[in-house]
Structures are given as C-alpha cells and as structure tokens.
C-alpha cells in the first residue's frame, strides 16, 4: 500500500486557496475525518497495492459494469424537491460521461484524444428497495436538514451502502456556501454515510439544474467515490508535511492525483483556459488537462476521463477488500436492487399548496399541487374539508375557503399497480378578514400564549426562541440565535399574530420595539433585520423598515463574540411608522421580523408595541397576589379578581392557540376593585388576559366539565 504525502490537514490545499470558486467539498469532508490524526490520514490517503497494480482493463475491452443508484431527495416542498425528469436527466449525463458518449467529446484537444476513454461503467436506477419493495430509485423525505444538514441529513434515510450508490439531494450544504457536493472515498475510515451529497440546483441540466455545470458536478463526485483525486491534489510533501515542489516530480505516482496520464496541476482550473500549463516539470511536459472531469473547469469545458483513471476506478470496483466496491457490481446485487428488470410501482401520495401558502384569508383561492411520487398517477381524488369545491380529480385544483377555521386535506392517488392516500390535518388555516387582536397591543413575551401566537422559524440550533431572564427590565424576550458558524445569508423569520388597526386609522399608528445586538468583529456589516407587513394573511409582504448591524441595529459600540444584553442600556428603541399604504386602516395586519445572518451575533427583540403612540414605559406587571382566578380549575364559572385602581380594563378569554373566545370591558368599583364573573362552557386550557392603559397580565385556567 502506498500513502499520499498529503497529511496534517493539507487537504485544505484543494479548498481554501480558491475562495468563492470552490465547488467540491470532498477534501473538506476528508479534513473533518482526519482531525489531525496521522493514522486516519494514512488510511484515507492511501491506494492499496491491489488497486495500484490492477491491470484488468489495460488490454482489450471488458464487460461493462453497472452500479445501482438511489436518489434521496431531502426537502421542505421547495425547489429542492426536484422532479423525476431532472433526476433522469442527470442519469443520462452520467452514463454519457462514463461511456464517453457525451456530445462534447469533440472539444477534447488533440494532445489528449488518445487517452480519453470509455470507462465501461454505467449507472441504473434501482427498482427494488432494501426490503424488496417496488421503487423508481427515488425517495423523498421532508426535513429541515435539507438546509445544511450534511451528515445528519444522510442519516434520515440510507440504503445498504454495499449494494446501492446513495445520492442525497439537498437545498444547501453546511460546510461552506460555495460547496456543491462531496463524496465518501473508498478508503474512508468511516462509511456510515457512504455515498454522495449534492445540492439540488446542480443535479442535471434541466429544471433547477445549473446550465453552467451541465450535470458534471455528480460526474466529478462519483469519480471521488470510485477512488479518483483532483489532478491538483498532491504537491509533493516531506515527512513533516512541508512542500518540496509545487508540482511534484517526474515520477507520475508522486504527482498530482497519482495517475500517470493526468498531468499534475499547480492549482484548480476554473473557466476554460486551453493554454494553461501550470506545471512544466512533468515528463513529458503537457498542458493542464482542463477537460478532465476531476478538475474544476466549467461543466461545459470538462468532457473526459483518462485510460489510467478508468483503470483506477475499475480497480476499486473489482476489489472485494475493505477498500473495494466489488459488491456494487455482483450478480446478487443486480438481483437485489432490480436494476435489470422493469418494475412499475404504485404511487405514493403527497401534496402541498403553491408557494407553500397554507394560511389564507376568507375567500382567498389556493392552488394545490400534486407532488405524488414513486409511480405515475392515473387517477386521483382530492377531498377538501371546508373548501369549495369540496372534492376534485384535477391534478392541481384551485380551492376557495369562505369560512375561517383550520381544515384537513386528503389526496388519494391510483394506478394499475395500486394506490395510496395521505391526509394532512389542520393543514389549511383560514383567517377572518378582521383580526381578533385589536391594537393597542403590547407583546413582552411574558404571556404563555405568546409561544403559540408568534410563529418562530428555526433550523437546528439557529433561529428564534423565547428566552428566560434576558430582556428589557431583565424579563423575557425573543432571540434569533446566530454565531460564527451559522451559514452566511441564512434567514430566520418571527411572525406575529394578526392585528386590527382600524381603531387607529386616523391616528397614525406606529410599531415600536426594542433590539439588543452587538457586532462580533470590526470590518463586517453585521446581521440585518427587515420588518415586513402583510394585510392579506401573508400572501404578499411589504418592507416597512430595514436595520443593519453596524449602523441602525447595533445597540452597543463594542465588538464582542457571543454577546448578550445584561442591562436596559443594552436595548435600543426602534420605531416604524405604520401609516404606510393601506396598513394604517388594516383590519388584519401581520408583522414579520426577518434576520439575515452574516456569521455574527444573536439578535434580541422585546417590547413589541402596536399603538397610536410610541411605547415610553412598559406596562405594569401585577403581582400574583393582586390577580386571582377563583376557582381554578373551574367547571365553567369563575371570577377574575384584581385591584385595577381607577383604570378601565379589558378581560380577554383566549384559547390555547391565542384565539379570542370572548372579551369584556370592565370598570372597577369605587374602591378600584374588579370582581368579574365569567362563564366558559367548553372544557380545556384557556388564558385570561387582563390589560389596560398601564396593566397587562395573563394567567392560565383549566375548565373541566
């Protein structure tokens, strides 16, 4: 076994040096596996003698080997949920590239034509899953891990790696924003996620596939999966990892990718520079082989594998040892995966709505999209609770909901092989044209129903959460968790309940709130917060204000990593005029706070106030001894008791989701006391909110029947 002298984290040679051009993350993945462990490095950066000495394909044409493939699409019903047609287009490209049947072979320069070969490797979609069930070679899994989940995303679904080439399709890769995919090498010390992960926008050349890369990203990554390295991989190093030569030496097994007919390259090739010759000490001295699929040239420039690359890949495919992939091409594997049979499947039902808009106003039409998979749909039956029409057989029907409420939707899909059905309960939320919450409204995140009425977007450890003991006046607040590891450009939204502003339509209503934020380091613009408004139940949004970290968002003059507010002076008052367009008279205003990350610090928000005046002092909080619900639990009748002094108050009875069940306007007696009897006739958990000019408090009550 021979070891590449590319140790001690030197794989970053293939990553960090190329800035935003980088598109392969295999080296970076290997770096993470090595973790400065020389023994692991020697294992991964090795070429077994059986592979080095393999010559089974050096003379004459051999039988074509076929690898079973499964695509695992991890999605959130967005554009990353790519079509079967796009995946089949990618399969076409793979088979053309590996059999040298690609239309652009004519672009191979004369100096390399004699070594540009048919690799005699093909790929077929599996027609049987590991349990022997029918499949079209594509699985679809709904998960937020499509957003940079990487190795975690792989563990959502993985088929027997000794039989299938697993390809995971995701929206983004978390290792870096400019990585398009990465593969696990045959010599990897950890094959728990063996296969390839690939961004959806670089699968194939149709649909959402990138025209620039022309489906060649997966061709490149499968090269890694079958044991190939980058031609710029191995600048020769000494035992300490120090460079001896930037271009290796004349011995082809110690230069570039350790393959003799791919000239060593000083650095990755970008674009399509046909005159580039970055290494002149190779023998014979050849131009850089930019058309090689394992370099970084544009997809429309790459067009070939070499004879020795074919030998290397077939060596791994015909080796049954620890580093081999022979099980992929065995007769038993072909039978188990069904690659040699036609096996049409029953469809698996799935659907969503256009633009993922599941919250609508009364009377607002919705277009449903049939996203069923695994088999062609011949017939379908939709059922829409509360909708008009209440049923349909169209592929993508339009439905109108005229009454507020929450409704389920069912889809059944059928073909000659069978049928399946899916029901999504509480799927469509229809809101009234007039919101139940009327301004003035103060949200300090003290009330338990805040957890329900505010929609908080999170992905893993990042995004919004309610925070105890950190807020204005050291109470509660919400925070958008961000740090230096958060992918730059990630967006996390905090969305309010609906407000009726009509009482303030002639009084120039305003939104005020407090932010706490510190820059992580100088030289950065910091995070950005954009405040949006919608008065059509979220169908369209308008920008109300934008806050930039370094200027209008930052509430300190410091640069402190992982900063958090500790006093009222750390909070900054922000004011947004709501007298814009028709928002001032809106009966159904929704607010959205959207943070765009820049690898900085968390953003804190508190004291959100919708009123005709800017909030100057926060409302008083009643002590538990001043505010009582008697009895609690109750069988349906109870009293609200408190000392409101001389202030007229509102008492709201709120359901568990924050919806208003009833409201009373109450005037205290001569002594300033309130002793109001309330009746609730349906059992369950409720929140009783008392609020007025200076008072705002909420308690839970349980109604038993």
| Contact call for residues 302 and 292 (beta carbons, < 8 A) | yes
Question: Above 70 in pLDDT, residue 356?
Answer: yes
Question: Above 90 in pLDDT, residue 233?
Answer: no
pLDDT in tens, 143-167: 989 988 999 999 999 999 999 999 9
Minimum mean pLDDT among 149-153, 332-336, 456-460: which range?
A: 456-460
Distance between CA atoms of 565 and 516, rounded to whole angstroms?
Answer: 6
Identify the band that residue 658 occupies on the pLDDT scale cut at 50, 70 and 90.
low
Minimum mean pLDDT among 297-301, 549-553, 591-595: which range?
A: 297-301
pLDDT at 223: 97
Distance between CA atoms of 139 and 201, rounded to whole angstroms?
Answer: 17
Please give the residue that has the higher pLDDT: either 443 or 41. Answer: 443
β partners of residue 611: 510
Report, as an integer, the average pLDDT of 183-208.
Answer: 91
Across 48-57, 476-485, 502-511, 649-658, the highest mean pLDDT is recorded for: 476-485
Beta-carbon contacts of residue 232 (< 8 Å; ≥ 6 apart): 13, 14, 256, 264, 265, 266, 267, 268, 269, 295
- At residue 25, what are phi and psi to the nearest 5 degrees? -105, 10
pLDDT in tens, 90-126: 999 999 999 999 999 999 999 999 999 999 999 999 9
Please give the residue that has the higher pLDDT: either 459 or 216. Answer: 216
pLDDT in tens, 73-93: 999 999 999 999 999 999 999
- For 486, which DSSP code? S
pLDDT at 60: 47
Which of 49, 91, 70, 108 lies closest to 289, judged by CA?
108
- At residue 106, what are phi and psi to the nearest 5 degrees? -65, -15
pLDDT at 258: 83
Q: How far is CA 137 from CA 8, 161, 342, in A?
A: 39, 14, 12
Is residue 635 annotated as part of the catalytic site, yes or no? no
Q: Spot the catalytic one: 221, 291, 443, 594.
A: 221
Sign of the CA dihedral with 34 first, then 38, 43, and 44 last: positive
Minimum mean pLDDT among 309-323, 367-381, 568-582: which range?
A: 568-582
pLDDT at 278: 86
Please give the residue that has the higher pLDDT: either 242 or 151. Answer: 151
pLDDT at 281: 77
DSSP readout, 171-198? Answer: SB-TT-TT--EEE--TT-S--TT-SEEE
What are the sequence ranges of the domains in the chain? 2-337, 351-431, 437-611, 624-703
- At residue 583, what are phi and psi to the nearest 5 degrees? -65, -35
How much of the chain exceeds pLDDT 70, in percent?
Answer: 87
CATH code that applies to domain 351-431: 2.60.40.10
Identify each DSSP E strand in 26-144 by its residue range: 46-47, 65-75, 121-125, 138-142
- At residue 405, what are phi and psi to the nearest 5 degrees? 150, -175
Strands 65-75 and 121-125: parallel
pLDDT in tens, 544-575: 999 999 999 999 988 999 999 999 999 999 99
> In which region does residue 195 sit, left (phi positive, over 0), alpha (psi from -120 to 50) or beta (all else)?
left
Please give the residue that has the higher pLDDT: either 209 or 443. Answer: 209
pLDDT at 19: 37
Report, as an integer, the average pLDDT of 476-498.
Answer: 91
Beta-carbon count within 10 A of 359 CB: 21
Instruction: Return the CATH architecture of domain 437-611.
Output: Sandwich (2.60)
| Contact call for residues 198 and 43 (beta carbons, < 8 A) | no
Q: How many Å is the maximal CA-CA distance in the chain?
A: 106
Distance between CA atoms of 572 and 581, rounded to whole angstroms?
Answer: 27
| Contact call for residues 246 and 281 (beta carbons, < 8 A) | no
Question: Above 70 in pLDDT, residue 577?
Answer: yes
Q: How far is CA 272 from CA 201, 268, 566, in A?
A: 22, 11, 55
How much of the chain exceeds pLDDT 90, in percent?
Answer: 54
Distance between CA atoms of 371 and 351, rounded to whole angstroms?
Answer: 5
pLDDT at 176: 74
CATH code that applies to domain 2-337: 3.40.390.10
**How far is residue 29 CA from its own chain's centroid?**
19
CATH code that applies to domain 624-703: 2.60.40.3080
Which of 316, 300, 291, 301 lies closest to 115, judged by CA?
291
pLDDT at 11: 37
> In which region does residue 293 sit, left (phi positive, over 0), alpha (psi from -120 to 50) or beta (all else)?
alpha
pLDDT at 5: 39
Identify the band that residue 243 occupies on the pLDDT scale cut at 50, 70 and 90.
very low
Report, as an integer, the average pLDDT of 60-82.
Answer: 91
Same fold, 2-337 and 351-431: no
pLDDT at 624: 43
Question: Above 70 in pLDDT, residue 170?
Answer: yes
Q: How far is CA 184 from CA 98, 437, 541, in A?
A: 19, 54, 43
Find out whether the peptide bond into 389 is cis, omega within 30 degrees of 0: yes
Question: 316: number of CA atoms within 13 Å, CB side?
Answer: 25
| Contact call for residues 431 and 359 (beta carbons, < 8 A) | yes
Round the average pLDDT of the chain to a whole number and report it. 86
């Amino acid at each position: 076994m021979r070891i590449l002298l590319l140790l001690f984290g030197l794989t970053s040679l293939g990553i960090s040096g190329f800035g935003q051009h980088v598109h392969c993350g295999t080296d970076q993945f290997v770096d993470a596996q090595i973790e400065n462990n020389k023994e692991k490095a020697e294992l991964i950066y090795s070429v077994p003698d059986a592979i080095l000495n393999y010559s089974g394909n050096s003379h004459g044409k051999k039988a074509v080997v076929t690898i079973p493939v499964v695509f695992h699409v991890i999605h959130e019903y967005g554009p990353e949920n790519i079509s079967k047609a796009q995946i089949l287009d990618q399969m076409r490209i793979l088979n053309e590239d590996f059999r040298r049947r690609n239309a652009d072979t004519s672009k191979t320069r004369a100096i390399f034509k004699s070594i540009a070969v048919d690799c005699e490797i093909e790929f077929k979609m599996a027609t049987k899953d590991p349990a022997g069930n029918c499949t079209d070679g594509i699985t679809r899994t709904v998960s937020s891990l499509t957003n940079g989940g990487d190795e975690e995303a792989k563990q959502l679904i993985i088929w027997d790696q000794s039989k299938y080439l697993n390809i995971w399709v995701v929206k983004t890769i978390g290792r870096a924003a400019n990585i398009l995919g990465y593969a696990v090498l045959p010599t990897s010390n950890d094959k728990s996620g063996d296969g390839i992960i690939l961004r959806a926008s670089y699968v194939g050349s149709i649909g959402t596939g990138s025209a620039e890369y022309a489906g060649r990203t997966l061709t490149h990554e499968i090269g890694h999966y079958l044991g190939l390295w980058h031609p710029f991989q191995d600048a020769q190093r000494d035992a300490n990892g120090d460079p001896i030569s930037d271009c290796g030496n004349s011995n082809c097994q110690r230069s570039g990718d350790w393959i003799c007919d791919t000239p060593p390259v000083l650095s990755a090739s970008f674009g399509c520079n046909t005159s580039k010759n970055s290494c002149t000490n190779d023998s014979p001295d050849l131009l850089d082989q930019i058309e090689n699929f394992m370099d970084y040239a544009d997809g429309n420039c790459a067009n070939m594998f070499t004879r020795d690359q074919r030998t290397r890949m077939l060596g791994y495919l015909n080796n049954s040892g620890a580093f081999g992939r022979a099980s992929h091409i065995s007769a038993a594997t072909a039978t188990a995966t069904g690659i040699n049979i036609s096996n049409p499947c029953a469809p698996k039902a799935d659907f969503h709505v256009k633009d993922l808009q599941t919250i609508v106003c009364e009377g607002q039409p919705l277009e449903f999209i049939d996203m069923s998979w695994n088999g062609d749909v011949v017939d379908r039956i939709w059922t829409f609770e509360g909708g008009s029409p209440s049923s349909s057989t169209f592929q993508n029907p339009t439905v109108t909901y005229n009454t507020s409420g929450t409704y389920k939707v069912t889809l059944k899909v059928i073909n000659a092989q069978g049928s399946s059905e899916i029901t999504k309960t509480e799927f469509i939320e229809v809101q009234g044209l007039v919101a139940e919450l009327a301004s003035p409204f103060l949200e300090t995140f003290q009330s338990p129903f805040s957890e329900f009425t505010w929609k908080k977007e999170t992905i893993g450890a990042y995004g919004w959460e309610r925070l105890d003991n950190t807020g204005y006046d050291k109470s509660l607040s919400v925070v958008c968790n961000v740090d230096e590891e958060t992918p730059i450009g990630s967006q996390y939204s905090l969305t309010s309940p609906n407000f009726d502003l009509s009482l303030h339509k002639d009084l120039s209503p305003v939104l005020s709130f407090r932010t706490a934020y510190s820059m992580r380091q100088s030289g950065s613009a910091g995070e950005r917060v954009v405040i949006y408004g919608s008065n059509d139940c979220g169908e369209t949004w308008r920008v109300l204000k934008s806050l930039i970290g370094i200027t209008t968002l930052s509430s300190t003059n410091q640069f402190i990593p992982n900063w958090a507010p500790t006093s009222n002076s750390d909070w900054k008052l922000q004011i947004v005029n709501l007298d814009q367009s028709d928002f001032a008279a809106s009966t159904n205003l929704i607010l959205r706070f959207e943070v765009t990350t820049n690898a900085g610090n968390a953003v804190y928000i508190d004291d959100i106030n919708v009123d005709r005046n800017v909030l100057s002092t926060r409302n008083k909080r009643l002590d538990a001894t001043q505010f009582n619900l008697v009895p609690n639990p109750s069988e349906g009748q109870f009293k609200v008791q408190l000392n409101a002094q001389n202030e007229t108050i509102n008492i709201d009875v709120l359901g568990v989701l924050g919806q208003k069940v009833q409201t009373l306007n109450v005037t205290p007696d001569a002594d300033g006391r309130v002793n109001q009897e309330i009746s609730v006739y349906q059992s369950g958990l409720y929140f009783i909110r008392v609020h007025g000019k200076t008072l705002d408090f909420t308690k839970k009550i349980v109604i038993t029947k």
